Structure 1
Amino acid sequence: MADFGTVPCSLHVETLVQLCIKYVSQRADILEKRAFGLPDSLLKDILPHLNIFHLDKIDPAVQSKGISTSFVWKTIWKDVVQTWRGRSMAAHPDHDWKQKCLERLFHMALYSRIKGEKKYLSQLSEADILSITAKHVHVLSLFGPSGGVCRLASEELHPTLSVLEQGVRCIKLQDGYCLVKHRGTDLMYLLHRLLDHGSVKEVVVHRRLGFELQTWITTRCRGPDKTLAKSTGNGLLQQRDLPLDTTSTACHDPSHNTSHMGSPGIHFCVKQEGEMACKRRRLSLISRTAEVELHSQFFKNPFLPSCGPVCPEGQITSLDMEVTPYDIAHILSPSLPFWLCLQSLQLHIRWADKDSELLVLVSSLQALCKNPACSLLELSINVAHHTPMEVLLEACPTLKSLSLEICSAPGDSRNMLTSKDPSDQSVFSLETLYVKSFTLQMDLESFCSALKRAPSLTSVHISGIHPAPPVLHTLSESNRFLKVLTLHDVNLANCHSEILQLLENLMLEELCFKNCRLFDKCPIKEDFLRPFVSTLKGRPSLQSLALPQNRLAKSVIELADLFVGSAQSRITTLDLSSNFILAADLLELSTALSTNRPSQTLTLDLRLNPLDRDPEVKGQAFRKLFPFCKLVTDQWDSRTSMADHISVM
């Protein structure tokens, strides 16, 4: 009998099942046809061994058996995105992981950032990866001076570009000036194909692109009924369809150094510099002339494919861009009143040392919103601390969503915008409001007045506003339809009675107090937590409660009372992240919750808590929670971070 010897202990011996899985995964083309006949458990073991091509192809057959491939895509995502730690891995629905993962892989392949041999990319070239992933790209990022833009515009990737035309909904132009400088022709070709021949409706511009390209992009905001002015023989435009010149109604008096604008609802004064009306008309002519010339030059470019006798022109419904005062004066102000198909506008403005640019911008917004064909529903903008919020809403009274970032203005700056007659309390249509303040000098009186005039508000996010009591009182008394309230970095240490009153008056569905110093003035945290929990239990509409960064620590056990008794809270999402909750504290909470289980599955966010300091106790707590909780956790290492210490300082 032959002696085969013994197998060294260090040698890994594959089981029969492992050998079978390897064999089957290497013949994935056959697997796709016969997947339905395999046991579910075996199929789940095979999936992680497939590359993205076969995993994508087998997905329909797997889904028909009731098996989700999201666990595989999530694993690939964690490998692709090295910064995932500390993020919520349960923040996206299962069906999103595949799309997010393949979209990221597309960009990595396009810009040649795929390194190393990965099992999920085995036997696939960069061209293969681009072809497989292109149909899953919803947001396309273009940046330079790398060759990615050049490659995408090449003849080789024309089939891939055709796929992108059908699926891409948003273009992000990052470092646009560099793109224009190094890849201008290729960039224009891509924008034309994706915007005019494709499905792109949203454009995001990081850093300015230059006058010509920025003008070309913004013409796509004008809507189907726009009329381009015709150029005359001397190169100037006819005075047809010029933007509304609000300064033409100004009452100019040479004996005064100010001129008063006649726009209803907004009153302001501007220092006289030449004649303002003539300047605005001249800028309008220059802008429209450049627009026509750019169209003419672009469509004469021999690099463009033949698209027929007349090329279509796309429509942008969402525009997010960084602008300077120059852009406001030369591009936005003259053309903004014509952006009739634009539904969402986000402006990141680098302000000069005066407010005149904001004045011109508000005037143009008002001219746009007066047009019955205006589609603008969402506006996001940064303003100076003395800018009344009512002024923006009076200019755009039909807005459904407003987002403001409020910053400090230079010391010599003065308010050039004032609200109309204070006795006029006309109602705004606002439903969603986001306000983030970076200054302690905010005009709180105007803010509260605007809240009173927006009774239809359903969602409010406030960050950095002080003092809090006037805001809480206004919300409680005037905004009874509020469903979602988020307060971030708002000092609520002295607002306990206002908080309880607000909860009693409103039928909130989502409530978030993030870093609000809830217990700074509490010798015993339970003194506020107990009435707070009791009031929450009486709110049957409340489904989500978030209390991150509030130093709950061991007092977290009080929240277990939410689910005690016959009148249980209906909360299904509880965010306790970054509260310095130790493993022993969590074990105590899990024991209490397992005794009085929530009536519905509870999503519990425990990220950024030092649970890693006692892994054994953490495991005990998790095992108690698993039967009725969906845990959102991370791999945060509290021993190498000072975040937990800072949270309790």
Structure 2
Amino acid sequence: MLQYSQGCSSCSCRGLATLSAGLWGGCQKNDGPRMLHMLALPSTILQHLLPLLNIYYLERIEETAVKKGLSTEPVWCQIWKRVMKRKPSQYENIRCWRQKFLETFFHNIMRGILDMSSDTCLQDPRFSPLLHSARYVTELTIGNKLQGVTRLGPVLGSLVDSVKTLKFLHLRSADKATEYALRLLLHCLIHHGKVCKISLSSWPTPDQDLLVVILKISAGLWRQTSDCKMCVQEQDAESSGSAQENRLPQCVESQESSHMQAPSGGNSENKWTNEKPPSALLNLHLPDVDQKALTKVSTKSGDNAVATDIPAVPALIGSISRNAVCHQSSLNKVPPPTSQSSNTSAIPSANNSSYCGGDAKAEQDELFDFVFAVAQEEMKKLQDGNTQLAEENAGNGGALSEAAQGTTDLPPPLKIRYHFRSVTSLNLHNVVLSLESCHFLCHLLCSWVSLEALMMAYNELGSNIFLILKALCTLSRQPDCHLSVVQLSDFVVQVPPLELACTILTDFPSLHVLALKFNVEDSLWEEGLEQSDPEFLANQLKQLEIQFPRGLLKPKHLLSLLGASSSLEKLILDSATFPSPEDLRVVLRALSELNPTLKKLYLHELNLSGCKSEVLLLLQSSTLEEVTFSFCQLFERRLDGFLIELINTVKKNRTLTILNLRGNRLGDEGLVSLADIFSEDSVSSIQHMDISSNCIKPAGLIQFAKKLEKSREQAGRISLTHLNLSQNLLNRDLAITQEALQALRKACTVIDHSSDFSQVFADHISVM
């Protein structure tokens, strides 16, 4: 070894490679002697040896390197750049290059998009690439036609112990064998593994059967017989005797669970007795809907059969007396022939083959068919009863329209004793939900008690948002409900966001995060309909985000919400338009009084040009840590005195660490003045500053850089660590821009997207 190291560099490399092959060649995972040989090597030799190892040995030598005071991170970073042939995003914070590489490596192998012969460090016949990298997969992404899912059987054991998040991206329909493998994968990773988050994204036209499968298993529903090895192992581990009488083995469906206890109307009239009063949804004034929207919906998939009488929109609920609504809902308690219970076994259908193995017994099939027939017959009778009830209410103070005659409540959740593990976070982003799939999701939500976070964005719900609200209302009455995060976003909303917030918070006063983001409010609500005045009760919100659609906002409603949210720590208000500047000033002044715990404030597209005193008051807060005024027209009127006051206020604030002034037309002169925040007499703690989209040119940037450098020399150091300069006019003189950037990078990390000229040009035109 010494002889090789004293020769030329190429000989040294060959010597180290020979040593590497001798020590590690043919070794197994628990090969102790060779590991001891590696431990005996001096750290200087081991450091030169690391870049010569392939990814399999490099991963195994990690513990040895750490004991020697060495890090493999630089090696993994170089392998990433060499194999992946791209740099990670500058916004991405890489904590562990080994984790990042091996997780990405796993996905590329699974999808068959990586050429293993492209780099010698990937090749080793003694190792399985999938098996070796599976233990590092914490976020498993499945896309398109489920490519690679059928190859994951041998590595399920490793994935069960490592995967915590499942992501589905751009899904398309797949063949039966692939869908079968997906079900097994979902069952193992969710019911037997550690997966707690499910995310479906970019699925504009989802396959209904596939969507139902993913949602159902995510909610803990599983009905197949037991050929699953993990289920068998769990059964063997369970105690026998009396314990077996109280709990059926997992993956074996109890016939008892198929007997859906449907209380009769006479025994269920007091549904709301001793319970929480009906949802605040009852106070919403809803428009009439077409009777066609109230027709029965039947959802059929490979292993689901759903029949419901839930209307698309609960029409004119606000005009019905509470007693009538409660009585009406009590008449609609025949549950559909599918389980709505979280963490429970779903009711098998006769046409579905077993996923873990084996077909359903003929006797069970006959029983299920009988139950379905009886349920449908009972539901038909109850429909007639609902119609009669609607006619009786007609002509009274709260008259129902014809469209409201079929209005029903969501059926109550089934009470089944046998539970499977379910996920705690569900994210549906750009997944268009039809009426059928929305009904099925609502049935799951009614009793998904383990669910902690529900995020739905751009699902084109339309009037179906009321189904989601009713399902959440039912869920809120479950004693062990854990929901703490609700995020709803869409292009069009059927009800004003503040009324929507009032409905949700009335049912979930213990909610911690509420985000409602909508672009347009349905015009039907603005014509001839009396809007209710929401009255907010005290809640435990810590984070509130509302993107308001176009239209004037009543400040008293927003003040009521802010006053009820006394524990608020983060507030985001987007695109709010007030009747007058004074109304906005009232809201801004109230923030410090109503929300003393506020740490993060984000205001986007609010016209603050006439609220300079209130802006300065906010910046004086001793609790605020992050402040964002993006596209708020702060400097539109060239208020030079205001800019100086703002700078002096920030200089005196010790708690503020993030200042975002994006899109406020700061210009060169304003940017140069902004450097005074970091002057020698400043006590500011600003670490992150965003001045993107501010019409900044190279001349102004170079002056700012020089002034900042002078402050750094005088004070010894400055607090600034990150500066965002993207989408400015920095391409006008690239030489000066590069000089300024080099000077700035000596003091902080600079984010600069100078090649993105489209937004820059739009900003420039807006100033002209």
Fold shared by both chains (TM-score > 0.5) = yes
Cα distance in 2 for partners of 1:241, 1:161 equals 46
Write out per-residue CA displacement over residues 493-525 of structure 1, whole angstroms, 9 at most, x where no aligned residue.
333222112222452111223333332222x6x
Q: How many residues align?
A: 597
Q: Does 1:263 align with 2:263?
A: no
Write out per-residue CA displacement over residues 385-421 of structure 1, whole angstroms, 9 at most, x where no aligned residue.
5241222211211101111122424433479997687
Write out per-residue CA displacement over residues 536-584 of structure 1, whole angstroms, 9 at most, x where no aligned residue.
1221111122333444342322222112233421122223345454454
With 184-193 and 442-451 compared, the bigger mean Cα shift is at 442-451
Change (3 A) 1:110 1:329: closer
Cα distance in 2 for partners of 1:586, 1:632 equals 12
Cα distance in 1 for partners of 2:269, 2:599 equals 39
Deviation at 1:51, TM superposition (A): 4.3
Of 542, 547, 556 in structure 2, the residue corresponding to residue 431 of structure 1 is 542
Cα distance in 1 for partners of 2:495, 2:334 equals 32
Cα distance in 2 for partners of 1:226, 1:549 equals 61
| 2:708 aligned partner | 593
Deviation at 1:110, TM superposition (A): 0.6
| 2:764 aligned partner | 648
Change (3 A) 1:472 1:574: same
Cα distance in 2 for partners of 1:100, 1:204 equals 20
Deviation at 1:38, TM superposition (A): 4.4
The answer as to whether partners of 2:543 and 2:569 remain within 8 angstroms in 1 is yes
| 1:408 aligned partner | 520
With 315-324 and 177-186 compared, the bigger mean Cα shift is at 177-186
Deviation at 1:132, TM superposition (A): 3.1
Q: Does 1:359 align with 2:473?
A: no
Write out per-residue CA displacement over residues 84-118 of structure 1, whole angstroms, 9 at most, x where no aligned residue.
68x425x41x4244323322221111101114854
Cα distance in 2 for partners of 1:320, 1:535 equals 41
| 1:53 aligned partner | 56
Aligned alpha-carbon RMSD (Å): 4.5
Cα distance in 1 for partners of 2:554, 2:126 equals 55
Cα distance in 2 for partners of 1:181, 1:442 equals 52
Cα distance in 1 for partners of 2:18, 2:697 equals 46
Superposition pairs of residues 148-167 of structure 1, within 5 angstroms = 148-153=148-153, 158=154, 160-167=155-162
Change (3 A) 1:324 1:625: closer
Superposition pairs of residues 597-608 of structure 1, within 5 angstroms = 597=712, 599=717, 602-608=720-726
Deviation at 1:480, TM superposition (A): 1.8
Cα distance in 2 for partners of 1:596, 1:226 equals 71
Change (3 A) 1:95 1:571: same
The answer as to whether partners of 1:578 and 1:606 remain within 8 angstroms in 2 is no
| 1:168 aligned partner | 163
| 1:257 aligned partner | none
| 2:141 aligned partner | 141
SS in 2 for 1:439: coil
Change (3 A) 1:328 1:213: closer
Change (3 A) 1:565 1:66: same
| 1:88 aligned partner | 90
Query: Structure 2 stretches of 5 or more lacking a match?
Result: 1-6, 25-34, 223-245, 296-308, 310-327, 360-416, 579-583
Deviation at 1:66, TM superposition (A): 5.3
SS in 2 for 1:429: coil
Q: Structure 1 vs Structure 2: percent identity of aligned residues? A: 24
Superposition pairs of residues 163-562 of structure 1, within 5 angstroms = 163-176=158-171, 178-179=173-174, 183-206=178-201, 207=203, 208=206, 209-210=208-209, 212-214=212-214, 216-220=216-220, 237-239=260-262, 263=278, 265-268=280-283, 277=329, 280-282=332-334, 284-287=336-339, 291-293=346-348, 301-302=356-357, 313-321=420-428, 322=431, 324=433, 326-327=435-436, 330-348=439-457, 350-351=459-460, 353-354=462-463, 357-382=464-489, 383-384=493-494, 386-387=496-497, 388=499, 389-413=501-525, 422=535, 426-440=537-551, 445-467=556-578, 469=585, 471-505=587-621, 507-522=623-638, 526-554=640-668, 555-562=670-677
Cα distance in 2 for partners of 1:133, 1:199 equals 17
SS in 1 for 2:596: coil
Deviation at 1:647, TM superposition (A): 3.0
Cα distance in 2 for partners of 1:632, 1:47 equals 32
SS in 1 for 2:748: strand
SS in 1 for 2:190: helix
Deviation at 1:446, TM superposition (A): 3.1
Cα distance in 2 for partners of 1:26, 1:240 equals 77
Cα distance in 1 for partners of 2:138, 2:349 equals 28
The answer as to whether partners of 1:316 and 1:341 remain within 8 angstroms in 2 is yes
Deviation at 1:590, TM superposition (A): 2.9
The answer as to whether partners of 2:16 and 2:52 remain within 8 angstroms in 1 is no
The answer as to whether partners of 1:236 and 1:285 remain within 8 angstroms in 2 is no
Cα distance in 2 for partners of 1:334, 1:246 equals 21
| 2:27 aligned partner | none
Question: Larger Rg: 1 or 2?
Answer: 2
Deviation at 1:349, TM superposition (A): 5.8
SS in 2 for 1:602: coil
Cα distance in 2 for partners of 1:596, 1:366 equals 57
Q: What amino acid is the match of 2:123?
A: Q
Cα distance in 1 for partners of 2:125, 2:690 equals 43
Deviation at 1:263, TM superposition (A): 0.7
Write out per-residue CA displacement over residues 607-637 of structure 1, whole angstroms, 9 at most, x where no aligned residue.
535657656545554554455x331345x45
Change (3 A) 1:84 1:465: farther
SS in 1 for 2:95: helix
Deviation at 1:451, TM superposition (A): 1.8
Deviation at 1:600, TM superposition (A): 5.4
Cα distance in 2 for partners of 1:607, 1:189 equals 48
The answer as to whether partners of 2:262 and 2:334 remain within 8 angstroms in 1 is no
Deviation at 1:61, TM superposition (A): 4.3
| 1:12 aligned partner | none
SS in 2 for 1:293: coil
SS in 1 for 2:524: coil
SS in 2 for 1:114: coil
The answer as to whether partners of 2:609 and 2:635 remain within 8 angstroms in 1 is yes
Q: What amino acid is the match of 1:56?
A: E
Deviation at 1:178, TM superposition (A): 1.5
- TM superposition score normalised by structure 2: 0.66
Cα distance in 2 for partners of 1:77, 1:35 equals 29
Write out per-residue CA displacement over residues 576-598 of structure 1, whole angstroms, 9 at most, x where no aligned residue.
34545445434322322232226
- TM superposition score normalised by structure 1: 0.77
Q: What amino acid is the match of 1:263?
A: P
Write out per-residue CA displacement over residues 274-296 of structure 1, whole angstroms, 9 at most, x where no aligned residue.
99648853454455599311699
The answer as to whether partners of 2:247 and 2:418 remain within 8 angstroms in 1 is no
| 1:24 aligned partner | 16
Change (3 A) 1:507 1:621: same
Query: Structure 1 stretches of 5 or more lacking a match?
Result: 1-14, 251-260, 305-309
